[in-house]
Amino acid sequence: MSGNPTGFPVAVVGVGNMGGAMAANLLERGWPVHVCDLVPQRAQDLVPLGAVAFSKPAQAAVHCAAVIVCVVDATQCEDVLFGPHGVATVMQPGPMVMLCPTLAPQDTESLARRLAERGIDSLDVPMSGGPARARDGSMSLMVAGADAMVARFEPLLAALSSRVFRISARVGDGARTKLVNNLLAGINLVGAAEVLAMAQQMGLDLGRTLAVIEQSSGQSWIGSDRMHRALAGDFAPRAHMTLLEKDTRLAVQAAHAAGFEGPLGAAARDVFANASAGGLADLDDAAVLQWLSRPRSS
């Protein structure tokens, strides 16, 4: 691929499934990339692709025009940004922090406000689509933040994704949009797992049942993606059960804060919470089929 026309270095802090795929995509497109992760081997794995690995977020951020934060939750964001080795300890006005985790809107707003107090700009940019789409640049990015900042970093956003959705100029709206999306993803996944567990109890062939669903009105992307894994017995965690547990919980909380309560969100939240508590937390969220297929005491 042709090189990056702007040439500015980018740090990716948190190079697990999604962050690692994003970093690899940028490296393939010719961007200079610094990487850092709590698990040092994840960063080292990107060195053969051209990345420069660092052990601390602050080290990775030095001389970078943008720092992509791709960790799990608000606690990890807090440490990456404002901890003893956080990027805010070294960043000067000018570079930008891109917040990509799924967070509560108030947490995104708080982090952005505290960065702004230090003269550091930020964008609220949650992502969706999974590691394969992050790797090939086709994942969805939900961008909220100042128009000037979005325009300035448009080349980076375009390199990361061909599906960039401009949400609003208000930081926090990206987080809100991501929670809306992920709550529906959770509802769809629980629904797909529920009906296959039902089909199993009816004595139906699950592969044939899923094939019908995929070509009929019950189809959903996440249902197809995860249920194929589940039927193959493949529960290696591309997306841990705990991620949708967290995301559905945050989404229901955000709904309550907005004065809305629907019939399905809380039910999906409870399924992921119970499956995690029931011993499936470290498995892929496809294992929700396992959970719903377990015999229930009467």
Instruction: Decide: 245 and 276 in contact? Cβ < 8 Å.
Output: yes
pLDDT at 297: 56
Grouping H, G, I as helix, E, B as strand and the rest as coil, residue 98 is strand
Task: Tell me how far apart the terminal alpha carbons of the chain are, to the nearest angstrom.
Answer: 60
Q: Cβ(130)–Cβ(139) under 8 Å?
A: yes
Helices 173-201 and 241-257 pack at an angle, to 10 degrees, of: 120
Rounded Cα gap, residues 187 and 110, in angstroms: 28
Cα 52 from Cα 36, distance rounded (Å): 9
CATH, range 10-169: 3.40.50.720
- CA of residue 14 relative to chain centroid, distance: 11
Looking at this protein, which amino acid is placed at residue 2? S
| pTM, entire model | 0.90
Which pLDDT belongs to residue 295? 81
Report the DSSP beta bridge partners of residue 138: none
Length of the chain: 298
Residues involved in catalysis: 178
CB neighbour burial string for 202-233, b if at least 16 within 10 angstroms, e if fewer: eeeebeebbeebeeeeeebebbbbbbebbeee
- pLDDT tens across the length of the chain (298 residues): 334 444 689 999 999 999 999 999 999 999 999 999 999 999 999 999 999 999 999 999 999 999 999 999 999 999 999 999 999 999 988 899 999 999 999 999 999 999 999 999 999 999 998 899 999 999 999 999 999 999 999 999 999 999 999 999 999 999 999 999 999 999 999 999 999 999 999 999 999 999 999 999 999 999 999 999 999 999 999 889 999 999 999 999 999 999 999 999 999 999 999 999 999 999 999 999 999 999 865 4
Distance CA 136, CA 22 (A): 8
Structure token digits, residue 8: 């500015």
Q: Please state the CATH superfamily assignment of the domain spanning residues 176-293 in this structure.
A: N-(1-d-carboxylethyl)-l-norvaline Dehydrogenase; domain 2 (1.10.1040.10)
Domain ranges in the chain are 10-169, 176-293
